């Protein structure tokens, strides 16, 4: 798949995932907002009903008070009417019929006149009672308007009554049994009283309703209600959205992982193609040399000349070694596909192995006009590693230094060993080559990875050397790191455990 195709799919999928998440977030925000509005509407409606009932209670209170005060006066008036008309006390009522009224007999009045007098008497009684009731109501209203605000607010709005009314109204309006706290406050004097649950952290979480709308401005009180678990209640109504977010998040993670894997596979494919091209080039040269040497052996004149025969055999031997070394490098990397590499650890002297590899490379370094130095100063160089693989590690690092040398200055190679502590040996291999860029430095130990300079035709490789080195050092129980600056050189630092 082309890189442009992968990028196109990535962009399309990214827009789709972002759009999906955006729609889910907006939907949840709107739902939470709607739940908050519904909750507020229920609370405000319930609080308004509570204040209305408190006002009704106050009206009833003053009505009862006026009835008690007027009872004595009404009793005196009733006795006077009874005495004048010789009526029993239980007949003085607004519901008297004309037939029930017993008018005193007067011998000098006709029956028709007596009946008219009785009717007029009853009309007067009804009119008096109507005027009494009207006056009573007017007096109650006047008392409420003039005297009610003088009563203590704790009597007008008793805390137990307020809690009972709030519980009733919340239940009637569809709000579940939700913990709440309430308080009665005055803007000038502050909180008059409050319930133990009333402890708001934010003013916006408090719902407020005015009590007794007819009170003067200086004596206006408010009922505040606070719900400590309101957020949990709102969240519980929209928690069904959580699985949707979880599935979307899983899809997003899978999408990102898939894109990363796709790019890695693309990069790995490119590196493998480079590996095949480089391997073909590396194998082609020794195979061609061996083929030419074999053809020369078929010539009788070559076979008759001992010097020529020796030269041809030397070429065949050198190119065979070169080919075997390249094949060995490829085979070495087969262990990357296994969980455990085949190792034959043994006790060796690291300084002796390093010194032998340096002697092998000395002629090759001097061929390019360079020099190689060794400072083997470790007091304890005994380590437990696979001898062949350890030799290959040092060999690969020195071979890289020669490959990536600078053309404008003579090559300088230094190998230093020391004991930084009593448990480890430190091996430093440094050169003055072309160096490695910072962005490439953290990737040089990856399999098949080669820096851009390494792809030039004058420097060929498989991108396996440093990956092999890192793998082996790790299996030895040690660590390796690289330090480098462009056009100043590279330093590899290996730390291996000693035998104790």
**CATH number of residue 433's parent domain:** 3.30.565.10
Stretch among 244-253, 269-278, 331-340 having the lowest mean pLDDT: 331-340
Instruction: Give the tens place of pLDDT for each residue, 52-97.
Output: 898 888 878 777 776 676 665 555 555 555 555 454 544 444 444 4
> How many CA within 13 A on the CB side of residue 424?
13
What the block records as the tokens of 477 is 């129980």
Answer whether 223's CB lies under 8 Å from 211's CB. yes
Question: Helices 159-172 and 3-85 sit at what angle, rounded to 10 degrees?
Answer: 120
Query: Residue 431: pLDDT band by 50, 70, 90 thresholds?
Result: very high
* 229 and 246 within one domain: no
Domain boundary among 284, 312, 331: 331
| C-alpha distance from residue 98 to each of 5, 13, 81, 110, 114 (Å) | 108, 96, 16, 17, 12
* 363 and 482 within one domain: yes
> How many Å apart are CA 15 and CA 11, to the nearest integer?
6
Which residue range forms the structural domain that includes residue 195?
Answer: 175-233
> How many Å apart are CA 194 and CA 185, to the nearest integer?
9
In a domain, 169, yes or no: no
* 355 and 479 within one domain: yes
Domain boundary among 120, 154, 188: 154
* 138 and 22 within one domain: yes
Q: Which residue has the tokens 């010539």?
A: 299
What the block records as the tokens of 232 is 């949990």
* 362 and 250 within one domain: no
The DSSP result for 232-253, as a single string, is: HHHHHHHGGGHHHHHHHHHHHH
Residues in the chain: 500
Using a pLDDT cut of 70, give the percent of the chain over it: 76
What integer is the mean pLDDT of 362-370? 82
Adjacent-strand bridge partners of 211: 221
- Best-predicted range by mean pLDDT (125-134, 316-325, 432-441): 432-441
| pLDDT for the residue 341 | 56
Domain boundary among 308, 331, 354: 331
* 220 and 185 within one domain: yes
In a domain, 389, yes or no: yes
This model's pTM is above 0.95: no
Q: Is the pLDDT of residue 418 over 90?
A: yes
3-state secondary structure of 184: strand
* 261 and 215 within one domain: no
User: Angle 57-165-238 (CA atoms, 0-180°, nearest 5)?
Assistant: 150
Comparing CA positions, the residue from 329, 332, 325 lying closest to residue 364 is 325
The DSSP result for 438-479, as a single string, is: HHHHTTTTSTT---GGGGSTTS---S-HHHHHHHHHHHTT-E
* 246 and 229 within one domain: no
User: Who contacts 417 (Cβ-Cβ below 8 Å, separation ≥6)?
Assistant: 350, 351, 354, 375, 376, 377, 378, 381, 425, 426, 427, 428
> How many Å apart are CA 405 and CA 401, to the nearest integer?
6
Instruction: Give the tens place of pLDDT for each residue, 273-297.
Output: 777 776 776 677 678 778 888 888 8
* 397 and 487 within one domain: yes
* 195 and 109 within one domain: no
What the block records as the tokens of 171 is 């239940």
In a domain, 162, yes or no: no
> How many Å apart are CA 238 and CA 28, to the nearest integer?
7
What the block records as the tokens of 235 is 């969240």
* 245 and 229 within one domain: no
Comparing CA positions, the residue from 450, 444, 452, 437 lying closest to residue 484 is 437
In a domain, 202, yes or no: yes
């Amino acid at each position: 798949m082309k890189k442009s195709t992968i990028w196109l799919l990535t962009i399309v999928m990214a827009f789709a995932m972002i759009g999906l998440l955006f729609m889910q977030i907006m939907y949840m925000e709107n739902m939470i907002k709607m739940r908050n509005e519904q909750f507020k509407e229920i609370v405000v409606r319930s609080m308004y009903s509570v204040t209305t009932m408190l006002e009704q209670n106050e009206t009833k209170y003053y009505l009862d008070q006026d009835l008690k005060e007027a009872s004595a006066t009404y009793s005196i008036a009733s006795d006077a009417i009874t005495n004048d008309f010789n009526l029993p006390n239980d007949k003085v009522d607004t519901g008297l019929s004309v037939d029930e009224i017993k008018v005193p007999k007067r011998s000098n009045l006709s029956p028709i006149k007596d009946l008219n007098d009785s009717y007029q008497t009853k009309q007067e009684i009804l009119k008096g009672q109507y005027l009494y009731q009207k006056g009573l109501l007017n007096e109650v209203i006047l008392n409420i308007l003039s005297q009610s605000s003088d009563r203590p607010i704790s009597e007008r709005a008793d805390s137990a009554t307020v809690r009972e009314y709030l519980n009733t109204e919340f239940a009637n309006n569809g709000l579940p049994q939700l913990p709440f706290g309430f308080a009665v406050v005055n803007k000038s004097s502050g909180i008059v009283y409050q319930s133990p649950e009333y402890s708001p952290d934010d003013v916006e979480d408090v719902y407020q309703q005015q009590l007794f709308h007819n009170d003067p401005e200086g004596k206006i009180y408010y009922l505040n209600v606070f719900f400590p678990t309101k957020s949990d209640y709102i969240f519980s109504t929209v928690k069904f959205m959580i699985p949707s977010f979880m599935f979307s998040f899983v899809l997003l993670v899978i999408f990102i992982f898939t894109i990363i894997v796709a790019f890695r596979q693309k990069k790995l494919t490119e590196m493998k193609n480079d590996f095949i091209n480089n391997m073909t080039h590396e194998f082609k040269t020794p195979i061609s040399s061996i083929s030419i040497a074999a053809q020369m052996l078929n010539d009788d004149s070559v076979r008759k000349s001992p010097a020529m025969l020796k030269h041809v055999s030397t070429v065949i031997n050198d190119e065979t070694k070169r080919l075997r070394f390249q094949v060995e490098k490829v085979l070495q990397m087969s262990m990357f596909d296994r969980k455990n590499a085949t190792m034959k650890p043994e006790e060796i002297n690291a300084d002796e192995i390093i010194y032998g590899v340096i002697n092998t490379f000395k002629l090759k370094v001097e061929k390019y006009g360079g020099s190689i130095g060794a400072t083997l100063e470790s007091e304890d160089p005994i380590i437990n590693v696979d001898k062949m693989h350890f030799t290959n590690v040092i060999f690969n690092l020195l071979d890289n230094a020669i490959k990536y040398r600078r053309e404008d200055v003579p090559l300088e190679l230094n190998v230093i060993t020391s004991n930084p502590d009593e448990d480890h040996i430190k091996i430093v291999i440094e050169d003055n080559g072309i160096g490695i860029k910072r962005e490439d430095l953290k990737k040089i130990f990856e399999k098949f990875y080669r820096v851009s300079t390494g792809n030039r035709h004058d420097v060929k490789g498989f991108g396996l050397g440093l990956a092999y080195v890192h793998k082996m050092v790790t299996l030895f129980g040690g660590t390796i790191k690289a330090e480098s600056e462009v056009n100043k050189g590279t330093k590899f630092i290996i730390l291996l455990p000693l035998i104790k």
